[in-house]
Amino acid sequence: MSALDTTASAGIALSTSGLSRSFGSLVVARDINLSLPVGARYALIGPNGAGKTTLINLMTGMLPPNAGTIALGGEDITELSPQARVKRGLARTFQINSLFANLNPLEAVTLAVCERRGISPRFWENIGVNKDAIEEAYDILTKLKLGDVAYQTTRELPYGRQRLLEIALALATKPKVLLLDEPAAGVPQEESGDIFEVVASLSDDLTLLFIEHDMHVVFRFATHIIVLVGGAVFTEGSPAQIAADPGVREVYLGKRHHG
């Protein structure tokens, strides 16, 4: 585990080493060693219950590992709190919307921007005087095509818009690494393309790891695919390698790939 510092080279944005976690006898993460180069577009796939969301929870500190380490930009972050990891540039979205139901998108994203800029402890000034923060929040919203609903209560937004707001909140933390947990979960097929267009248009320095079930989307947007089975890395490689791997077809793709 201590070898982690030496393995981290300048080009690696996020890496894990020997990451493991179990609940009683149920192993949900088994000796996971991954590294994401800066600017990567990685997909994380695997059958239901493979431990994909658990892996994101481990990386972001929402679930403590039993063993192993996590490094962000070469720095060990295993002991840091979730919010401290966010401050260092590791953000995530949630598979099931986790939004601020009674705030509107402008308020929610402004809140996230204020947290990043360290102005959220200020109780003595009107929020309106922070012009830069508000405009930054609004820019994020327009970039994600949420500008026209910026003043509408989140609760009342259509589901697809709420999925975009998930991403907007994560972007407001100015992440270096962004982990997207099924960004288009529950969105009708014809709209899920829109969400991934937004994802694809994100800056090239941003390192991305996304969980996705739709193989067309995975092969279209990912440069590299990690296959997780039973809490362990089954294999990883380029889309072409994964597509050609008979083992992957057997455990995961099966008929769905050509279906």
Q: Which is nearer to other proteins, 138 or 196 (CB)?
A: 138
Assess 110 for contact with other proteins (CB under 8 A). Answer: yes
- Please, are residues 89 and 175 in contact by the beta-carbon 8 Å criterion? yes
102 near other proteins (CB under 8 A): yes
Our finding on whether 191 is near other proteins (CB under 8 A) is no
34 or 170, CB closer to other proteins? 170
Among 72, 172, 211, 233, binds other proteins (CB under 8 A): 172
- Which CB atom, from 55 or from 99, has the smaller least distance to other proteins? 99
Selected range binding other proteins among 2-10, 41-49, 135-143, 251-259, rule: CB under 8 A: 135-143
156: contact with other proteins by CB under 8 A: no
Among 94, 210, 234, 252, binds other proteins (CB under 8 A): 94
Task: Examine residue 67 and tell whether it contacts other proteins (CB under 8 A).
Answer: no
The residues binding other proteins (CB under 8 A) are 60, 62, 81-83, 86-87, 91-92, 94, 98-103, 106-108, 110-112, 114-116, 119-131, 133-135, 137-138, 148, 150-151, 169-170, 172-173
